[in-house]
C-alpha cells in the first residue's frame, strides 16, 4: 500500500533525551548504558512512526533558541520534512530515564510562552501547506504552550475542512473540547483525556457512551486508547474493541503516537478494523524499543499479516456488561 503524505503539527515541540540506566540508584552516581537524543513532541513522533510505515510526513510547529536548532538538525538527519517556525524563547527539553527492571521516570518541561501573533502565523503556515493538495491528513497532537489559545486546534481543523483534508486530534482539556466542535475526522484521547472532557468512566460501557457523546458533539470517529487494556473505536459502524498486544516492554513513551500513526496509515486503506489492528501493533512495537516514535516496519507488517489481534464488535448489550 502506498501511503499519502501527512502534515503533523507540534505546537509544543521538544528535544527528547532518553537514558537507559540499568540498576538505577536513588542516591549516588548513575551512568547510562545508552543515551538517545532526538527531535520530539507528539506530532514529531507521529511523523517519525508514519515514515517508518512507508509514508511521507512533514512536521510543523514552533522551535526556538539553540535547542530548537538542534531539533531541526535532528529532523534533517531522520529525513522528516521540516516546516517549523522559529520563535523567541528556547525549545523545551524532555527527559526519560529507563531502568528496564524497575523504574521509568519522565521529566517534561512546560515550554516557553508563545505570542498570539505567532500562533496566528502558524495557522497561516498550515493553511498555505494544506492548500497545495499534497497532504491527505492534518495531525494535531500534544499540549499547547502558554500564550497559544485553546481554540488553536479547532481553528486548524477548520483549515483542514476548507482544504478537503482529514484532521486528527490527540489533545486534552479545553483544546480537545473545542477541536471536537470543529468536526475533526478523528480524535484519539486516552482514558484520562476522555474523562477530562466527558466525565467519570466507571467501566467499558461508560467509555463507549462517552466516546459516542464526543461523536454527537462533532468528532466523526473516536478511538480511546486504554494502555494494557487495548483500545475502543466508536464510529458510524458502532463500537469495536481490540485487546492490547502482549510484548516485553522497554518503554511505553510514544506508543500512543505510534498507535495514531498506524491508525491513520490503516484508515488510508479504508478498513477501520484493519486500521485498529495496525494501530495496536505499531503501538506495541514501540514499547519494545528505546525512544519515542520508534517502530520497525518489517516487524509491524509481519505481525499485521499474521493471525494477530482480533477486533471485537461491542453491541450495546455487551458494552453495558464489559469492563475496561
Which pTM value belongs to this model? 0.94
Rg (CA), the chain: 19
Parent domain of 201: 5-24+33-321
pLDDT digits (tens, 9 = 90+) for 134-163: 999 999 999 999 999 999 999 999 999 999
Q: Which has the closest alpha carbon to 284: 266, 304, 265?
A: 304
Q: Give the distance from CA 30 to its chain's centroid.
A: 31
CA dist 323 and 205 (Å) reads 7
Which residues, 6 or more positions from 26, have their beta carbon under 8 angstroms from its beta carbon? none
Query: How many Cβ atoms are within 10 Å of 114's Cβ, its own excluded?
Result: 25
Q: Is residue 309 scored above 90 in pLDDT? A: no
CA dist 103 and 235 (Å) reads 37
Identify the residue with better confidence: 225 or 308. Answer: 225
Backbone angles phi, psi at 196, to 5 degrees: -65, -25
pLDDT digits (tens, 9 = 90+) for 99-134: 988 778 999 998 999 999 999 999 999 999 999 899
Q: Which helix (H) or strand (E) holds 153?
A: helix 152-163
Catalytic, out of 118, 170, 235, 257? 257
Q: Which has the closest alpha carbon to 112: 48, 151, 62, 159?
A: 62
228 among known catalytic residues? no
Percent of the chain surpassing pLDDT 90: 78
- CATH number assigned to the domain comprising residue 287: 3.40.1190.20
Cβ burial 292-307 (10 Å sphere, 16+ → b, else e): bbbbeeeebeebbeee
The total number of structural domains that make up the chain: 1
With beta carbons less than 8 A apart as the criterion, state whether 176 and 196 touch.
yes
pLDDT digits (tens, 9 = 90+) for 184-241: 999 999 999 999 999 888 888 999 999 999 999 999 999 999 998 999 999 999 999 9
Amino acid at each position: 500500500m502506498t501511503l499519502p503524505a501527512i502534515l503533523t503539527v507540534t505546537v509544543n515541540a521538544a528535544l527528547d533525551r532518553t537514558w537507559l540506566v540499568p540498576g538505577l540508584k536513588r542516591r549516588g552516581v548513575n551512568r547510562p548504558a545508552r543515551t538517545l537524543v532526538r527531535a520530539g513532541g507528539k506530532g514529531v513522533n507521529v511523523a517519525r512512526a508514519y515514515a517508518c510505515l512507508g509514508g511521507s510526513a512533514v512536521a510543523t510547529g514552533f522551535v526556538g533558541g539553540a535547542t530548537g536548532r538542534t531539533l531541526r538538525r535532528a529532523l534533517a538527519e531522520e529525513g522528516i520534512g521540516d516546516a517549523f517556525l522559529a520563535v523567541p524563547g528556547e525549545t523545551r527539553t524532555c527527559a526519560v530515564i529507563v531502568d528496564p527492571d524497575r523504574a521509568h521516570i519522565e521529566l517534561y518541561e512546560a515550554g516557553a510562552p508563545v505570542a498570539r501573533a505567532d500562533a496566528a502565523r502558524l495557522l497561516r503556515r498550515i493553511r498555505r501547506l494544506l492548500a497545495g493538495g499534497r497532504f491527505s491528513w492534518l495531525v494535531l497532537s500534544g499540549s499547547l504552550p502558554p500564550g497559544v489559545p485553546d481554540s488553536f486546534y479547532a481553528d486548524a481543523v477548520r483549515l483542514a475542512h476548507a482544504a478537503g483534508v482529514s484532521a486528527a486530534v490527540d489533545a486534552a482539556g479545553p483544546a480537545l473540547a473545542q477541536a471536537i466542535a470543529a468536526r475533526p475526522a478523528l480524535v484519539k484521547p486516552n482514558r484520562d483525556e476522555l474523562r477530562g472532557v466527558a466525565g467519570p468512566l466507571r467501566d467499558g460501557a461508560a467509555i463507549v457512551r462517552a466516546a459516542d457523546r464526543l461523536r454527537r458533539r462533532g468528532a466523526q470517529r473516536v478511538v480511546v486508547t486504554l494502555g494494557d487494556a487495548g483500545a475502543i473505536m466508536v464510529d458510524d459502524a458502532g463500537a469495536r474493541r481490540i485487546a492490547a498486544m502482549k510484548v516485553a516492554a522497554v518503554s511505553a513513551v510514544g506508543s500512543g503516537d505510534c498507535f495514531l500513526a498506524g491508525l491513520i496509515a490503516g484508515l488510508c486503506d479504508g478498513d477501520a478494523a484493519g486500521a485498529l489492528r495496525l494501530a495496536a501493533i505499531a503501538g506495541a512495537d514501540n514499547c519494545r524499543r528505546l525512544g519515542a516514535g520508534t517502530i520497525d516496519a518489517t516487524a509491524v507488517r509481519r505481525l499485521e499479516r499474521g493471525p494477530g489481534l482480533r477486533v471485537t464488535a461491542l453491541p450495546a448489550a455487551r458494552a453495558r456488561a464489559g469492563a475496561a
